[in-house]
Structure 1
Amino acid sequence: MESLSFYENQFIKADSLISDGNIADGKELLEDILSQYPDFGKAHNHLGWIYYNKLSNHDKGIFHYKLAMKFEPKYPAPYINYTYLLIDLGRYAEAKEHVEFTKQHLENFDDSSYNSELGRMAEYESQYTLAYNYYRLAKKNALNPNFIDNMNANMKRVKDKMSIFEKLKLKLNKQ
């Protein structure tokens, strides 16, 4: 059995292949890593991403994200990726529970990203005032100018969906 360091380097190569759009070779390399180190959480996260985003295999995506969180509990990527997956599947109650769990257990919890996702769920559920407030919170702690622009666009879109009464209530609460 080769050293873990070798497989960490292989993981970096797999990550680079995936970033370059060579998903098949990246996937193969990740599977090789996991055949030797089945508890390599970062490899599970990347496989989860491939299965969900590239192969539309939700079950395998969930499986690998859960293993990533189990084996690499301080690695933030699988937590947010699992959130995206649950929301995309319309499993909002599970997603909200997962966000709350993540907020309590992940040291480097990214308020902006999770508030954005809570806003997305609220918007899907036609809770426009709540969505607006989550997007505003996401923007408040954000540093990335593109993310901030996206939150502004989300807030405008949600505001356009609001009834006149919701807009009035929003305006009154700002003062």
Structure 2
Amino acid sequence: MESLSYYENQFIKADSLISDGNIAEGKELLEEILSQYPDFGKAHNHLGWIYYNKLSNYDKGIYHYKLAMKFEPKYPAAYLNYTYLLIDIGRYEEAKEHISFTMKTLENFDSSSFNSELGRMAEYENQYLAAYNYYKLAKTNALNPNFIDNMNVNMKRVKDKMSIFEKLKLKLN
């Protein structure tokens, strides 16, 4: 068995392949890594992303994200990617529980992204005031100007969907 550092380097290559659009080669390399180191959490995260985003195999995506969080519990990408998947497949209650757990236990989570996702769920559930407030909170803690612009767009869209009474409540707050 080769050393872990060899497989860490292989992981970096797989990440680069995926970034360059060579998904199939990256997937093969990740599977090779996991055949030798089945507890390599970051490789599980990347495989979860491939199954979810490129192959629409949500069950395998969930499987790999859960393994990523188990084996690499301080790796924030897996927590956020898992959140995206749960929301995209409509498992909102599970996503809310996962976000709550993440915000309580993970030290280096991206509060802006998680609040944005809470806003997205609230908007899907026609809870426009809550959605507006989550987007506003996401914007407050954000540093990326494009993300901030997106939150402004989200807030405007949600405000346009509000009833007159919700808009009044918004002004009173």
TM-score normalised according to structure 1 size: 0.98
Structure 2 match to 1:27: 27
TM-fit CA distance, 1:109: 1.6
Q: How many residues align?
A: 173
Structure 2 match to 1:16: 16
Structure 2 match to 1:126: 126
Pairs within 5 Å for 1:55-94 = 55-94=55-94
Identity of aligned residues (%): 87
CA distance in 2, matches of 1:157, 1:61: 31
3-state SS in 2 of match to 1:63: helix
TM-fit CA distance, 1:172: 1.2
CA distance in 2, matches of 1:105, 1:171: 34
CA distance in 2, matches of 1:111, 1:6: 34
1:98 aligns to 2:94 (yes or no): no
TM-score normalised according to structure 2 size: 0.99
> Which ranges of structure 1 fall in alignment gaps of 5 or more residues?
none
Structure 1 match to 2:45: 45
Deviations 1:138-172 (A, max 9, x none): 00010000000000000000000001110111011
Letter in 2 for 1:51: Y
Letter in 2 for 1:107: E
TM-fit CA distance, 1:123: 0.1
Letter in 1 for 2:36: Q
CA distance in 1, matches of 2:149, 2:38: 40
CA distance in 2, matches of 1:58, 1:94: 14
Output the aligned Cα RMSD: 0.4
CA distance in 1, matches of 2:59, 2:158: 31
CA distance in 1, matches of 2:82, 2:35: 23
